[in-house]
């Protein structure tokens, strides 16, 4: 799919993924969009993002509030509010739903809030398109490995979001609804690596939940690559999954600590955490196809999977399957400049572009 001349709406566009996604959308690598619309609730983050882009093109702040005349447009709004969603979606050709409550413990304590954002937000997008006949070409739902065999509220609500978007293809055949799943994003806001960096900088201890816990690891750019691959190749109702490496939490900690005399403290598993994450469950593996560096999980609804494709997997795809050893973990972190002293992090933990 080429985005040349199209309007792209990114809900939650001021988050870790949203920032990198917007930067790469505006770079023109998928074609130069007519407009990129960022919809989120936080006016402070929108202001900071607006200023960062304006200072690349102008020397004064005179055009700060020419919001609707810019290629990058900001809208204050909430995916929980149907009216806000309608107002933003009606002018979009492509919608990328990155708005989410994604912190596992937070969702455990406030499951109702997770439902409102992660489920009702998705439903509002589908409803806006269906009830108003908005000519949206594609909707991409941003999901997570925690949606496969979910054991926590965050994963459960994201799994429901996937089903909401998948089933939307049946009654909305003019719009392609697809999803992407990926694992832990290196150095994203709220992830473990910025926490470890901060603990190391303050002399420790570095807190590890369970040493043998494994997690899939991707960079923010690889997460965006997955979104772009889905836009280019995914069929209606499919969920695209990257074939990503995994590492143990203890090896991540040791690699970041290096030769420093920093204590590692084991704190125990947190509410709702899994020991090993799953990108594709055993129920899904038998309707999963290979697409280059990705797996495509085909929808289970018969209306959306009329053609049989050979299965690319014979068992679930778990972070326990192909775990990097210490040297492999160290090499991965070095490759992406995440070893202390080699990385610059923005406020909130995002990698600076």
Rounded CA separation 118/101 (Å): 7
Average pLDDT over residues 135-143: 98
Backbone angles phi, psi at 34, to 5 degrees: -65, -35
Catalytic, out of 45, 146, 235, 254 = 146
Residue 192 pLDDT grade (very low, low, confident, very high; cuts 50, 70, 90): confident
Tell me what pLDDT residue 1 has: 85
Cβ–Cβ < 8 Å for 186, 336? yes
Average pLDDT over the chain, rounded to an integer:
89
Superfamily classification of domain 7-182+219-241+279-314: NAD(P)-binding Rossmann-like Domain (3.40.50.720)
- The candidate with the shortest Cα–Cα distance to 245, out of 336, 322, 335, is 322
Rg (CA), the chain: 20
Tell me what pLDDT residue 339 has: 81
Spell out the domain ranges in the chain. 7-182+219-241+279-314
Could you tell me what percentage of the chain is helix, strand and coil, using 3-state DSSP and rounding each to the nearest 5?
40, 20, 40
Q: What pTM was estimated for this model as a whole?
A: 0.89
Token pair of 246, please? 């995994």
Helix axes 121-132, 82-89, angle to 10 degrees: 60
pLDDT digits (tens, 9 = 90+) for 162-177: 999 999 999 999 999 9
Percent of the chain whose pLDDT exceeds 90? 76
Average pLDDT over residues 11-29: 93
State yes or no: is 146 an active-site residue. Answer: yes
């Amino acid at each position: 799919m080429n985005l040349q001349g199209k309007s792209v709406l990114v809900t939650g566009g001021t988050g870790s993924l949203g920032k990198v996604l917007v930067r790469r959308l505006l770079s023109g690598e998928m074609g130069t969009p007519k407009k990129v619309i960022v919809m989120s609730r936080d006016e402070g983050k929108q202001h900071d993002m607006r200023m960062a882009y304006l200072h690349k093109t102008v020397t004064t702040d005179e055009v700060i509030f020419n919001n609707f005349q810019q290629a990058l447009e900001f809208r204050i709004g909430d995916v929980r509010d149907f009216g806000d969603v309608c107002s933003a979606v009606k002018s979009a050709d492509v919608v990328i739903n990155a708005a989410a409550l994604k912190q596992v413990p937070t969702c455990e304590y406030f499951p109702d809030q997770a439902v409102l954002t992660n489920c009702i937000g998705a439903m509002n997008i589908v409803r806006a398109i269906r009830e108003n006949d908005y000519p949206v070409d594609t909707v991409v739902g941003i999901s997570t490995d925690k949606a496969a065999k979910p054991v926590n509220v965050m994963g459960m609500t994201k799994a429901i979001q996937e089903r909401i978007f998948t089933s939307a293809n049946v009654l909305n055949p003019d719009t392609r609804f697809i999803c992407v799943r990926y694992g832990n994003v290196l150095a994203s806001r709220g992830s473990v690596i910025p926490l470890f960096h901060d603990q190391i900088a303050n002399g420790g201890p570095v807190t590890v939940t369970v040493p043998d816990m494994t997690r899939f690891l991707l960079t923010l750019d690889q997460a965006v690559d997955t979104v772009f691959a889905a836009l280019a190749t995914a069929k209606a109702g499919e969920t695209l999954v990257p074939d990503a490496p995994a590492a143990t939490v203890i090896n991540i900690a040791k690699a970041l600590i290096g030769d420093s005399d920093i204590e590692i403290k084991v704190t125990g598993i947190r509410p709702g955490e899994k020991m090993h994450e799953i990108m594709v469950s055993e129920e899904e593996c038998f309707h999963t196809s290979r697409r280059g560096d990705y797996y495509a999980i085909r929808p289970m609804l018969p209306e959306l999977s009329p053609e049989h494709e050979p299965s690319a997997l014979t068992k679930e795809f778990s972070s326990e399957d192909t775990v990097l050893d210490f040297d492999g973990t160290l090499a991965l972190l070095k490759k992406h400049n995440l070893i202390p002293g080699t990385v610059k992090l923005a406020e909130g933990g995002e990698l600076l572009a």
